[in-house]
C-alpha cells in the first residue's frame, strides 16, 4: 500500500474505532501529518490525560505509551511497535535504581519522564524537559534531591537551580551523538546562526548553545526570534514541524560525531514506528500496553503532581 492509501485507511479506522493518534515530534512526517495531536512529552501526557477517545494509539516510545495508560487507565492504549524503547529508560533498571536509592535516604526523588512505569513508582515527582526547573523550584531549598535517569539534564538543572542533586548516570544515545568540533566549524561557516539545543545534550554542547529548551520550547523560541538562521541540536524529526512553523527561516541540523552521510541525529527507537505498523495495530487493537493496577496507582501520584504544577 502506498503512503496516501495507508494514511486514508488509518484515518477511517480511527473514526470507526473512536481512536486518537498521538505522535511525538520525532515521528516521521507521514505519521505527523495524520496524527490528531503532535507534541512534546509534556503536551502528549496532558492530551492522554484529557482525551475522550476510547483507544489511544501512541506513536512515540514505550515509556510515553505507559504514561498515557497510567493517566487514563480505563482506555485501551496501543503501540505500533513494543520494541520502541529509549536509552534513558532502558539504562535505569528498577532493581538497580531501588538499590541506588538506599544510599540516599531523606532525598526527594525526581525522575525525568523518560523512565519506566516501575521507576515512576519509586519517584516523588516526575518532570519533563519543559517543566523540570519549575518542578524542582517547588521543592524546599534545604531538601536534597536524587535526579534520574539523565545525567546531562541533571547537570543542566544543577547549574540552573543551584540545587544539591545526586545524579543517576544515564544518557540519551541520540543527544550524546553531537560533535562539538563539527558544531563549532559549522557555526564558523554560519556566524549569523543561533544554536539551539535540547538539555539532554552534553555539557560542552549546551555551553555553546544560545538557547536550551525542550522540543516545544525550541519551536516557540525559533518562532518568536527575530533571527533567521538556526542550528538545531536535537533529534532530526523536529525539523518537520519547525519548518512548517517558520517556513522563511533557515534550519540547519547540528552535526553528529559518527555520521558523515547525514548531518542529523535520528532516534532509532522513535523511527521504529511506521504507517504500516500503525495500521495493523489499529486493525488488531494490539500490541496493547498492560500495567498492574498497583503500578498504575503508585505511578499516578508523581505524574499528577507534575501536571498540577
Ligand atoms: P521532550 O520532552 O522535549 O519531548 O523530549 C522527549 C525526548 O525523548 C527527547 O529525546
Ligand atoms: Fe530516548 Fe533519546 Fe530517543 Fe528521546 S531521543 S526517546 S531520550 S533515546
Same CATH topology for 3-84+270-290 and 88-172+299-308: the answer is: yes
**Residue 187, annotated as binding a ligand:** no
Query: Of all helices (H) and strands (E), which one includes residue 122?
Result: none
CATH 3.40.50.10800 assigned to 180-253: yes
Unique residue bearing C-alpha cell 522563511: 248
Rounded distance from Cα 24 to ligand 1 centre (Å): 8
Q: Give the Å distance between the CA of 106 and the centre of ligand 1.
A: 29
Burial of 223 from C-beta contacts in 10 A (0-12 / 13-18 / 19+): exposed
CATH fold of 3-84+270-290 reads: Rossmann fold (3.40.50)
CA distance 114 to 268: 15
pLDDT at 177 over 90: yes
CB of 72 shorter than 6 A to ligand 1: no
pTM for the full model? 0.94
Q: Which stretch of DSSP H or E encloses residue 45? A: helix 41-50
Q: Which CATH superfamily is domain 88-172+299-308 in?
A: NadA-like (3.40.50.10800)
Distance CA 145, CA 26 (A): 30
Is the beta carbon of 271 within 6 A of some atom in ligand 2? no
Per-residue pLDDT tens over the stretch 191-220: 999 999 999 999 999 999 999 999 999 999
Per-residue pLDDT of 141-158, as tens digits, reads 999 999 999 999 999 999
Q: How do the domains of the chain map onto residue ranges?
A: 3-84+270-290, 88-172+299-308, 180-253
Q: What is the pLDDT of residue 257?
A: 86
| Closest ligand by atom to 132 CA | 1
pLDDT in tens, 225-245: 999 999 999 999 999 999 999
ω into 287 cis (within 30 of 0): yes
Are 187 and 231 contacting, i.e. CB atoms less than 8 angstroms apart? yes
Helices (H), 146-288: 151-161, 180-189, 203-208, 215-224, 238-245, 275-284
CA–CA separation, 212 and 129 (whole Å): 10
Please check if 190 is assigned to a binding site: no
Q: Is 262 marked as a binding-site residue?
A: no
- 235 touches ligand 2 (CB under 6 Å): yes
Q: Are strands 194-197 and 211-212 parallel, antiparallel or unpaired?
A: parallel
Which atom of ligand 1 sits closest to the CA of residue 43?
A: 4
Length of the chain: 309
Q: Whose CA is nearest to atom 6 of ligand 1?
A: 41
Phi and psi, residue 188, nearest 5°:
-65, -35
**Position 262 pLDDT exceeds 60:** no
Q: Ligand 2 pocket: which of 168, 267, 271 to mutate (most atoms <8 Å of CB)? A: 267
Dist. CA 87 → ligand 2 center (Å): 6
pLDDT of residue 261: 46
pLDDT, one tens digit per residue, over 91-125 is 999 999 999 999 999 999 999 999 999 999 999 99
Which residue is associated with the grid cell 535517569? Answer: 149
Q: What is the pLDDT of residue 255?
A: 93
ipTM of the complex in this document: 0.97
- Per residue in 1-42, pLDDT (tens digit) is 899 999 999 999 999 999 999 999 999 999 999 999 999 998
Q: Which atom of ligand 1 is nearest to the CA of 24?
A: 4
Confirm or reject: Cβ of 114 under 6 Å from ligand 2: yes
| pLDDT value of residue 77 | 97
Ligand 1 lined by 40 (C-beta under 6 Å): yes
In the chain, % of residues over pLDDT 90: 95
- pLDDT tens across 55-101, in order? 999 999 999 999 999 999 999 999 999 999 999 999 999 999 999 99
| Atom nearest to 128 CA in ligand 1 | 2
Distance CA 287, CA 285 (A): 7
At 260, the pLDDT band (50, 70, 90 cuts) reads low
The DSSP code for 292 is -
For residue 29, the CA-to-ligand 2 centroid distance in Å is 18
Average pLDDT, the chain: 95
What pLDDT sits at residue 263? 45
The pLDDT, as a whole number, for residue 233 is 96
CA distance 187 to 193: 7
The answer on whether 199 is annotated among ligand-binding residues is yes
- CA-to-CA dists, residue 267 to 168, 175, 235, 236, angstroms: 22, 9, 7, 8
pLDDT at 259 over 70: no
Amino acid at each position: 500500500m502506498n503512503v496516501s492509501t495507508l494514511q486514508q485507511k488509518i484515518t477511517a479506522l480511527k473514526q470507526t474505532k473512536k481512536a486518537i493518534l498521538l505522535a511525538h515530534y520525532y515521528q516521521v512526517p507521514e505519521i505527523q501529518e495524520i496524527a490528531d495531536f503532535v507534541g512534546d512529552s509534556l503536551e502528549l501526557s496532558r492530551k492522554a490525560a484529557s482525551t475522550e477517545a476510547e483507544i489511544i494509539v501512541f506513536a512515540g516510545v514505550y515509556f510515553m505509551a505507559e504514561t498515557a495508560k497510567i493517566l487514563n487507565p480505563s482506555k485501551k492504549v496501543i503501540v505500533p511497535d513494543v520494541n520502541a524503547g529509549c536509552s534513558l529508560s532502558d539504562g535505569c533498571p528498577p532493581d538497580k535504581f531501588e538499590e541506588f536509592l538506599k544510599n540516599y535516604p531523606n532525598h526527594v526523588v525526581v525522575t525525568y519522564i523518560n523512565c519506566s512505569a516501575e521507576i515512576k513508582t519509586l519517584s516523588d515527582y516526575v518532570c519533563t524537559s519543559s517543566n523540570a526547573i519549575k518542578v524542582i523550584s517547588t521543592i524546599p531549598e534545604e531538601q536534597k534531591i536524587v535526579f534520574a535517569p539523565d545525567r546531562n539534564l541533571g547537570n543542566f538543572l544543577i547549574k540552573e537551580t543551584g540545587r544539591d542533586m545526586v545524579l543517576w548516570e544515564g544518557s540519551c544515545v541520540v543527544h550524546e551523538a553531537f560533535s562539538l568540533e563539527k558544531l563549532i566549524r559549522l557555526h564558523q561557516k554560519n556566524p549569523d546562526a543561533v544554536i539551539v539545543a535540547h538539555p539532554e545534550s552534553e555539557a560542552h554542547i549546551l555551553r555553546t548553545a544560545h538557547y536550551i529548551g525542550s522540543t516545544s520550547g525550541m519551536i516557540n523560541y525559533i518562532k518568536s526570534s527575530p533571527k533567521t538562521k538556526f542550528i538545531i541540536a536535537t533529534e532530526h524529526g523536529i525539523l518537520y514541524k519547525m519548518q512548517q512553523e517558520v517556513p522563511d527561516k533557515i534550519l540547519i541540523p547540528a552535526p553528529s560525531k559518527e555520521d558523515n552521510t547525514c548531518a542529523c541525529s535520528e532516534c532509532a527507537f522513535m523511527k521504529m514506528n511506521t504507517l504500516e505498523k500503525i495500521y495493523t495495530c489499529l486493525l488488531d487493537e494490539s500490541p496493547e500496553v498492560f500495567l498492574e493496577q498497583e503500578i498504575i496507582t503508585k505511578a499516578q501520584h508523581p505524574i499528577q503532581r507534575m501536571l498540577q504544577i
